Amino acid sequence: MMRTAVWLVGALLLGGIVHIATVFGVPHFAVNDPWREVGTLTGDGVFVRLPRAAPGVRTLSGLDPAMTHAACRFSLDNGPVRIRAEVADGYWSLALHDRRGMWVWGVDNRAAEQKPIDILIASHVQVAQLRESLPDEFEDVVIVDWPSQEGFALYKILVAAKSREAEVEAALATARCTPTPLP
Amino acid sequence: MRFLVELFATLVIALALGLSTAWFMVSAPRIGTGVGAWKAVPAVSADTADPYTRARVARTGEIVLGAGEGLVFIAEADDDGRPLDGACDYRISGATPTARLWTLSMVDDAGGLPASVSGRTSLTSREVLRDAEGRFEIAVAATARSGNWLPSHSRGAEKAILRLYDTPLALSPDQNMRMPRIVRGTCR
């Protein structure tokens, strides 16, 4: 009896270790994390309009069906990435996610006061370089200090009514994400 | 011999226990503040996300709302605790916590949206009709209803997803939030 109890306690402790190791291990072994999913729909360094969530349509999971989305997967290997986009009236949001799909930085229509989006994503090293000599063209650009080398941007705009769809699509189509090599 | 058998049994139990509990915690959002039938999905940011959320996002490839964007609520049952079922009509009524915008949609187990004659799959705070005190009443049904109608699936398990954008609650959801009530109507 005592002997069985000891084995059971051992099983519980070992089970706890397996549990923790599994949970922490999943992000390293997952094959369809958001970054890869975005990669199946878009190429790197270009904004692609995502299919709108609708019955029977394959798109990224977790997208709000009331919004239209465009995504761009980026890498900072060839210099900081500049994101520019025109905005539409009403709600919109630009979110930057890291390699693991976690939200890092974002801006929405209230924070931006309906000004066009113009940001520069740079790694720690690139930010240091920019601090040393900021090219004139980046004077009014918001610089985002990026914790790693990769990530993706998701630009979403609310479609308040069917009649607004054309305007929203036009704004989405202006989104650009371009690697901008530093001099 | 007895020792080996016991060791083997212990290892099997440990693996089964560890893996099944890990799968349970990672397969859906399990941690979060609950209010009535609604459960808040913890807001996600790279600095603060818990390991379960990280694992779930990595496994499902799901795009989550960031901590600075808003807050998502999921309801899998009505106010009486009965699981939401496409064969039933529901009334979602009341008010939501303060937010600049909210959207409501119904999805099935696989996250699929319902097909309906209107082609609409969501209802937003911009469209919803309210009474004099700002409260709304939404009819959730597979076939068209008058007033605020949110199309649902015609059968099978369902979830209601309420997304609040730009809400002061995003970082600290609490028990005193006013969430809409979900009441079951007739079933087919």
Q: What is the pLDDT of residues B70-123, one digit of tens each?
A: 889 999 999 999 999 999 999 999 999 888 999 999 999 888 899 888 888 999
Q: What is the pLDDT of residue A66?
A: 92
Residue B16 included in any domain = no
- Taking 70 as the threshold, does the pLDDT of residue B170 lie above it? no
pLDDT, one tens digit per residue, over B43-60 is 778 888 889 999 999 988
Residue B59 included in any domain = no
Q: What is the pLDDT of residue B175?
A: 66
B57 near A CB under 8 A: yes
A104 near B CB under 8 A: yes
As a whole number, mean pLDDT of residues A55-80 equals 89
The verdict on A94 and A158 lying in the same domain is yes
Contact across the interface for B22 and A19, Cβ inside 8 Å: yes
Do the strands A142-146 and A117-123 form a parallel or antiparallel pair, or are they unpaired?
A: parallel
Average pLDDT value over all residues in chain B: 89
The verdict on A76 and A12 lying in the same domain is no
Q: What is the CATH number of the domain that holds A157?
A: 2.60.40
The verdict on A3 and A88 lying in the same domain is no
CA distance B29 to chain A (A): 13
Residue B126 included in any domain = yes
Angle at B62 between CA A174 and CA A119, to 5 degrees: 35
Stretch (H or E) spanning A170: helix A165-173
Q: What is the pLDDT of residue A45?
A: 83
User: Measuring CA to CA, which residue among B23, B63, B45 is closest to residue A60?
Assistant: B63
Q: Indicate the pLDDT class of residue B172, thresholds 50, 70 and 90.
A: low
Residues of chain A neighbouring B44 (CB-CB closer than 8 A)? 102-103
Q: How many domains, in total, are found in chain B? A: 1
- Taking 80 as the threshold, does the pLDDT of residue B169 lie above it? no
As a whole number, mean pLDDT of residues B8-33 equals 90
| Owner of token pair 């459960």 | B39
Q: Are B170 and B101 in contact (CB under 8 A)?
A: no
> A2-11, A16-25, B22-31, B160-169 — which one is most confidently predicted on average?
A16-25
Residue B48 included in any domain = no
How many whole angstroms separate alpha carbon B69 and alpha carbon A51?
21
Contact across the interface for B18 and A56, Cβ inside 8 Å: no
Residue A81's domain comprises 34-179
Contact across the interface for A158 and B126, Cβ inside 8 Å: yes
Q: Are A15 and B18 in contact (CB under 8 A)?
A: yes
Supply the pTM of this predicted model. Answer: 0.89
Three-state DSSP state, B37: coil
Contact across the interface for A26 and B115, Cβ inside 8 Å: no
What the block records as the tokens of B38 is 């609604």
Contact across the interface for A23 and B52, Cβ inside 8 Å: yes
Residues of chain A neighbouring B109 (CB-CB closer than 8 A)? none
Q: What is the pLDDT of residue B171?
A: 58
Q: How many domains, in total, are found in chain A? A: 2
Return the minimum-mean-pLDDT range out of A108-112, A135-139, B154-158: A135-139
Q: What is the CATH number of the domain that holds B39?
A: 2.60.120.600
B30 near A CB under 8 A: no
Measured in Å, how far apart are chain A's first and last C-alpha atoms?
Answer: 75
- Taking 90 as the threshold, does the pLDDT of residue A33 lie above it? no
- Taking 90 as the threshold, does the pLDDT of residue B162 lie above it? yes
The verdict on A147 and A168 lying in the same domain is yes
Of A62, A65, A98, the CB nearest to B62: A62
Residue B60 included in any domain = no
How many whole angstroms separate alpha carbon A127 and alpha carbon A140?
15
Residue B1 included in any domain = no
- Taking 80 as the threshold, does the pLDDT of residue B8 lie above it? yes
Measured in Å, how far apart are chain B's first and last C-alpha atoms?
Answer: 60
Within 13 Å of residue A88, how many CA atoms lie on the same side as its CB?
27
Helix-helix angle B51-60:B2-27, to 10 degrees? 80
- Taking 80 as the threshold, does the pLDDT of residue B153 lie above it? yes
Q: Phi and psi dihedrals of A47, rounded to 5?
A: -80, 130
| Owner of token pair 């779930």 | B56
Residue B89's domain comprises 34-43+67-187
| pLDDT top residue among B66 and A152 | A152
Q: Are A121 and A81 in contact (CB under 8 A)?
A: yes
**How many Å separate Cα A94 from the centre of its chain?**
8
Of A18, A21, A106, the CB nearest to B69: A106
Q: What is the pLDDT of residue A57?
A: 79
As a whole number, mean pLDDT of residues A62-91 equals 91
The verdict on A138 and A118 lying in the same domain is yes
Residue B53 included in any domain = no
Which residues 117-146 of A have a C-beta within 8 angstroms of B?
none
Q: Cα separations (Å) of B10 from A17, A20, B18, B21, B23?
A: 13, 18, 12, 16, 20
The verdict on A76 and A161 lying in the same domain is yes
- Taking 90 as the threshold, does the pLDDT of residue B160 lie above it? yes
Which residues 81-140 of B have a C-beta within 8 angstroms of A?
100-101, 103, 105, 111-115, 121-122, 124, 126-127
- Taking 70 as the threshold, does the pLDDT of residue A140 lie above it? yes
Pairs across A and B, CB distance < 8 A: 179
Residue B4 included in any domain = no
Stretch (H or E) spanning B16: helix B2-27
Residues of chain A neighbouring B6 (CB-CB closer than 8 A)? 3, 7
Average pLDDT value over all residues in chain A: 89
As a whole number, mean pLDDT of residues A28-57 equals 85
Q: Are B150 and A93 in contact (CB under 8 A)?
A: no
The verdict on A23 and A4 lying in the same domain is yes
- Taking 80 as the threshold, does the pLDDT of residue B174 lie above it? no
The verdict on A172 and A101 lying in the same domain is yes
